Chain A
Amino acid sequence: MIFPFDSLSAHHREFGLIVAVIIGFAFGFVLERAGFGRSPKLAAQFYLYDMTVFKVMFGAIVTACLGIVVFSQLGLVELRTLSNWATSETFLWPMIVGGFLLGIGFIIAGYCPGTSAVAAASGNLDGLFTFIGVIIGSFIYSEAFPLFSRFHEASNLGHVYLYDLLHLPAPAVAAAVALMAILCFLGAEKVEQYFSEKLKRSGNTEFENNILPERHSRLARQSTFATFGALALIACFTLFLTIRNGSSRSSALPLSQADLGERVLKEPWRLRIIDLREREACLETRVPGSECVPLAELTTLALSEDTSGRDLILVGGIDLNEVPAAAATYPGRVFILEKGFEGWKSFALTAPNHPGPSASPDEVGSYRIRAALYSSLTGAKQAPPPPPPAATGGTTKKKGGGCSG
């Protein structure tokens, strides 16, 4: 991990604050040079004859997004850890309403909070007034917080990302966003052209001299698109790499029935077992200690936030072919139970046969575990007596036999 999470802890604090000023400096410099210190240029976004705001913002999002995804695919950062750290949780309705209100404030003020600071810094009093307004608005919110508090906390979905929502790997979503951006940019060029022509025809001479964006070089545009396309391809390529290596976090370890049986008996507190079968089937009989969460509802558990350090064990009806997206982000180890619940039935819910007198200590150990599981799970007082040959498993009370997967 190349970024220090403790960069603001006492030890690194001064360094962190210096870096903060430097990063802020670069941020302000780029915003000013993009033209974001001037309200008419920003407001123009909403009259469609100058889409600079859209292009710069979306371009920056795509650049940073592809960058961070490629870095995380290379194993240099952990995408979800970083994201959970750097973003707020999703409060859907407050964010939608807040966004709408901020958009209204944006067109009235001609700036958003960040750009108003840049405008103020370059001598524009309207920018200064906007920034002071933002301070006052924040203060009003704190004063009136009891009024807002319920809505403020409403519809908290936790940390949710587009790749969770779409059940796709992050690089695929990032690449899709990049491609969408290129298409939107092409559209924005057309829209810009159409509306600036329209304004010119309306005879507002102020525009031609003053506000209309200069036509920028085709080369810069094309090379930007090429860069985005190339980065998107790299992101997708790294995706295939990690899938082949099996080193991706989403890959799970197989867990044998015997291992699960032993761990269920010896250290159940180290396990988080999730039964992904239909709820009815799971409620009827399941591996002891498992939660009944059908596959479709798995996202509701917010598994990525379970920091208990337990091993996650996924139990399907039969073998699970892949780790569900919602579990792939579990911070600890993820196991898939081999042969699923069908395997468990024949392993733990069927009376075991004694391995015989010539059995190795391992075989005897395994028999003991099976016998202990069988007796504790089926209500049998004890395991079938040792030697008698071929005790059939027909005496189980519940769910004996059946298909052994």
Chain B
Amino acid sequence: MNESHFEKPFWNPYLAGIALGLVLLSSFLIMGRGLGASGAANRIGVAVVSAIAPAHVNANPVMASLKEDGAHPLDDWLVFEVLGLFLGGAVAALTAGRMKLGILKGPRISSEFRLVFALTGGILMGIAARLARGCTSGQALSGGALLSLGSWAFMFSVFAGGYALARLMKKEWL
């Protein structure tokens, strides 16, 4: 990357880990909750469908449960937390000189394919996170820190899944 000398380097991973742990710890102590991401994505989806076809959401008990008692599906802690996540990510990228419109990928794959893969992987993760009651943030990180059995099983599984398919996906990244 030519302009890389304008970018601030990434934090040392160990110190970043401690920093992330402290954020998680304060979330536990102040809110009694862990961090999350996929739950908010789910709510955003329900909110979008609800705006387009409210009857459809009401007919689906799983989606309707998010707007019980007339609550708005976006009226939830996680949604606000993910709003903060976007802001924090943007500010961090901006102040580190990394804010740049682009598509990140390995050298051997076209941008179009990269975006198709990104969308496909996202869809799989959306399904997976619903099944597992959380993603790497809510389940592995937050539940893992509280030593929940299911979270640890989930975490090992995530790595197993990633390594299982890594060889096949080599062209996308290497």
Contact = CB atoms under 8 A, between A and B. Distances in A.
B101 A125 contact: yes
Given A82-B28, A161-B147, A59 B122 contact: no
B20 A59 contact: yes
A136 B126 contact: yes
Given A67-B25, A103-B162, A114-B135, A83 B148 contact: yes
Given A28-B89, A88-B133, A102 B98 contact: no
Nearest to A57: B141
Interface stretch (A115-123, A233-241, A281-289, A356-364): A115-123
A89 B29 CA distance: 20
B91 A29 contact: yes
Nearest to B8: A33
A403 interface: no
B55 interface: no
B162 to A, nearest CB: 4
Nearest to B22: A63
Main secondary structure of the interface of B (DSSP, over half): helix
Nearest to A93: B153
Contacts of B37: 112-114, 117, 134
A345 B120 CA distance: 68
Contacts of A23: 23, 26-27, 30-31, 35, 81, 84
Interface in B142-174: 142-166, 169-170, 172-174
B153 to A, nearest CB: 5
How big is the A interface, by class? 35 or more
Interface stretch (A44-52, A248-256, A270-278, A380-388): A44-52
Given A99-B155, A126-B115, A34 B85 contact: no
Contacts of B103: 124-126
B106 A40 contact: yes
B83 A216 contact: no
B151 A87 contact: yes
Contacts, number: 574
Interface string B29-52: 111111111100110111011000
A24 B83 contact: yes
A137 B127 contact: yes
Interface in B47-105: 48-49, 60-63, 77-78, 80-94, 96, 98-105
A55 B26 CA distance: 20
Contacts of B143: 87-88
A44 B13 CA distance: 14
Given A3-B32, A113-B136, A126-B118, A86 B146 contact: yes
Nearest to A44: B173
B150 A109 contact: no
Nearest to B38: A113
B158 A99 contact: yes
B26 to A, nearest CB: 7
**Which of B35, B114, B154 has its CB near the most chain A CB atoms (within 10 A)?**
B154
A136 B120 CA distance: 10
Contacts of B84: 20-28
Nearest to B148: A87
A123 B101 contact: yes
Interface string A361-373: 0000000000000
Contacts of A67: 21-22, 25
B89 A31 contact: yes
**8 A-B pairs with least C-beta separation:** A133-B122, A137-B126, A59-B17, A103-B161, A24-B84, A63-B21, A109-B121, A99-B157
8 contacts: A33-B92, A57-B141, A60-B21, A79-B146, A99-B128, A109-B121, A130-B122, A130-B125
Interface of A: 2-5, 7-8, 16-17, 19-35, 37-41, 43-47, 51-52, 55-65, 67-68, 71, 77, 79, 82-83, 85-92, 94-127, 129-143, 145, 148, 151-152, 157, 159-165, 170, 173-174, 177, 185, 199, 204, 206, 209-210, 214, 216-217, 220-221, 224, 227
Interface of B: 1, 9-38, 41-42, 44-46, 48-49, 60-63, 77-78, 80-94, 96, 98-107, 114-115, 117-137, 139-166, 169-170, 172-174
